[in-house]
Structure 1
Amino acid sequence: MQVKMGERIVKAWQVKHDEAPLEEWVQHLFDQQICFWNPRDNEQLRFSLMFGGAARVGDYLIYLGKSDIKVISEKRFNREFTIL
C-alpha cells in the first residue's frame, strides 16, 4: 500500500500471514531471502544480516528505497502515517 509520511509518499506493508498475493516489493524480499519467517517463532519476521533485525506480526515494513526498509510498530504507524 502507499502511505504518506510527512510530505513523502512511500510503500508500506503490515506484517501478517496472508494468503493473498503479496505486493511486488514484499514478494521480492522473500524471494531474495532478505526476510523470512523465523522457524522457531512464526509470529516473527527475520531479516538477513545485510538488514538485520526482526518484525512481529502487526508491525509495518516501510519501504524507503532498495536498501532502506524500516520496521515500525502499529501504534507509531497509526500516529505518523496516512494510508492513500
Structure 2
Amino acid sequence: MQVKMGEQIVEAWQVVHDENEIVEDWVQHLFDKQICFWNPKIPDQLRFSLMFGGAARVGDYLIYLGKSDIKVVSEKRFKKEFTKLEAKK
C-alpha cells in the first residue's frame, strides 16, 4: 500500500504471518531473495538477513524507502506518523 510520510509517498506493508496476504511485489521479492524470513524459533517474528539486520513482529509495518532501505515501524507509531493513501482503481 502507498502511504504518506510527511510529504514523501512510500510503500508500506503490515506484517502478517499468512503467505496469502503478501500482495506487495516488493515484499514478495524480500522473501524470494531470502532478505527476510520467518524465525523458526519465534513464529511471529520476521527476521532480516545480515545486510539489513533486525526483526519485525506481526502487526508491525515494513516501510520501503528504496532498494536497500527498509524500516520497521510499530503499529502505534505507524498510526501517528503515516497516512494511508486510497488505492487507485
- TM normalised by structure 2 equals 0.91
Alignment of 1:14-33 (within 5 A): 14-18=14-18, 19-33=20-34
Tell me the equivalent position of 2:40: 39
**1: CA distance, partners of 2:64 / 2:21:** 19
Q: CA deviation at 1:17?
A: 1.7
Amino acid at match of 1:12: A
User: What's the RMSD between the two structures over aligned residues?
Assistant: 0.8
Amino acid at match of 2:70: I
Task: Describe the SS at the equivalent of 1:42.
Answer: coil
Task: Describe the SS at the equivalent of 1:26.
Answer: helix
Which sections of structure 1, spanning at least 5 residues, go unmatched?
Answer: none
- Worse-matched range after superposition: 40-49 or 13-22: 13-22
**2: CA distance, partners of 1:13 / 1:36:** 15
Q: Which runs of 4+ in 1 moved over 6 A?
A: none
**2: CA distance, partners of 1:16 / 1:7:** 27
- TM normalised by structure 1 equals 0.97
Identical columns (%):
80
Report the structure, 1 or 2, having the larger strand content.
Answer: 1
**Count, aligned residues:** 84
Tell me the equivalent position of 1:72: 73
**1: CA distance, partners of 2:74 / 2:37:** 18
Task: Describe the SS at the equivalent of 1:22.
Answer: coil
Q: CA deviation at 1:77?
A: 0.1
